[in-house]
C-alpha cells in the first residue's frame, strides 16, 4: 500500500509543458503578420508551426503536454489541426502575465514550463534542457532577441513565484522586467530563440517555415491531466 501511494504521488509530481496557442483562424491568430503578408499566408504559417510544435514536443513521456488556448470558447471548437487533439485549457482573461500566472497556479505540483506556439526552431532538446536547468534553479527563461522571451518555467516548490507583475509586454523590456521581479532568486537561461510576428521575421525564417509540414500519420500525443 505504501509503495502504491508513493507511485501515485510521483505520478502527480511530473514536469508539465504548456503550449500557449490562439485559435488558428484569421482575425484571431497572427493579426500583425496577416496585415503584412496576407491572412492566408499568415494562417498557413501559424497552423503549420502549431502542428510542428506539437509533433516535436508532445511525444514521449518525459513531460506531460497540454494546450492553453484563447479565446476560451476555442477549447471546445473543431478548428484545431489533428495533432492538437490533446487536453486543452482556457487561458482566461487579462494580459499575458495574468494568463500565465493563472496557468502556473492551476496545475498539480511539479515543475512547469510555458512556451509559445510560433517558434519555428524549437525542438524537444530545448525543452529537455530547460527542465534540466529548472532542477537547479527557481525559474528558467528563454530569451528572445527582441528583449522578450519565448519560454518561462517555474519550479513551483515550495511555492509558485509571481514574476509577471508590471511587466511591459510586446516590447524590449519584458525580459528585464521579469528578471527584476525574480531578484534574489536563482534564474537559469535557455538558448535564445525567436517567434515570428512580422514580415521581416517571417522572411528571415522563410526557408525553415516552409518545411513546417506535419507527417500524414502524426504520432499520438501524451494526454495530460489537471
Provide the pLDDT for residue 210.
Answer: 61
| pLDDT tens figures, 197-217 | 899 988 887 666 666 644 433
CATH architecture of 14-209: Alpha-Beta Complex (3.90)
Q: What DSSP assignment string belongs to 108-166?
A: PSS-EEEE-S--TT--HHHHHHHHHHHTTSSEEEEE-TTSSEEEEEE---SS-----TT
Provide the pLDDT for residue 220.
Answer: 40
Domain boundaries, the chain: 14-209
| pLDDT tens figures, 144-182 | 999 999 999 999 988 899 999 999 998 899 999 999 999
Q: What is the CA radius of gyration of the chain?
A: 17
Provide the pLDDT for residue 216.
Answer: 39
Q: What's the pTM?
A: 0.86
Provide the pLDDT for residue 158.
Answer: 84
Residues of the chain with pLDDT under 50: 1-10, 213-226
Amino acid at each position: 500500500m505504501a509503495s502504491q501511494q508513493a507511485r501515485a504521488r510521483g505520478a502527480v509530481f511530473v514536469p508539465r509543458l504548456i503550449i500557449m496557442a490562439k485559435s488558428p483562424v484569421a482575425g484571431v491568430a497572427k493579426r500583425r503578420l496577416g496585415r503584412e503578408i496576407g491572412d492566408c499566408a499568415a494562417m498557413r504559417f501559424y497552423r503549420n508551426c502549431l502542428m510542428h510544435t506539437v509533433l516535436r514536443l508532445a511525444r514521449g513521456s518525459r513531460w506531460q503536454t497540454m494546450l492553453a488556448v484563447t479565446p476560451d470558447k476555442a477549447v471546445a471548437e473543431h478548428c484545431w489541426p489533428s495533432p492538437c487533439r490533446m487536453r486543452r485549457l482556457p487561458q482566461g482573461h487579462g494580459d499575458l502575465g495574468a494568463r500565465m500566472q493563472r496557468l502556473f497556479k492551476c496545475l498539480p505540483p511539479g515543475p512547469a514550463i510555458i512556451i509559445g506556439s510560433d517558434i519555428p526552431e524549437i525542438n524537444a532538446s530545448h525543452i529537455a534542457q530547460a527542465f534540466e536547468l529548472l532542477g537547479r534553479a527557481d525559474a528558467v527563461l528563454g530569451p528572445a532577441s527582441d528583449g522578450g522571451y519565448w519560454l518561462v518555467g517555474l519550479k513551483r516548490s515550495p511555492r509558485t513565484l509571481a514574476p509577471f507583475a508590471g511587466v511591459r509586454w510586446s516590447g524590449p523590456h519584458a525580459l528585464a522586467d521579469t528578471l527584476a521581479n525574480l531578484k534574489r532568486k536563482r534564474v537559469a537561461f535557455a538558448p535564445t530563440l525567436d517567434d515570428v510576428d512580422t514580415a521581416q521575421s517571417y522572411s528571415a525564417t522563410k526557408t525553415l517555415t516552409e518545411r513546417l509540414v506535419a507527417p500524414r500519420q502524426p504520432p499520438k500525443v501524451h494526454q495530460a491531466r489537471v
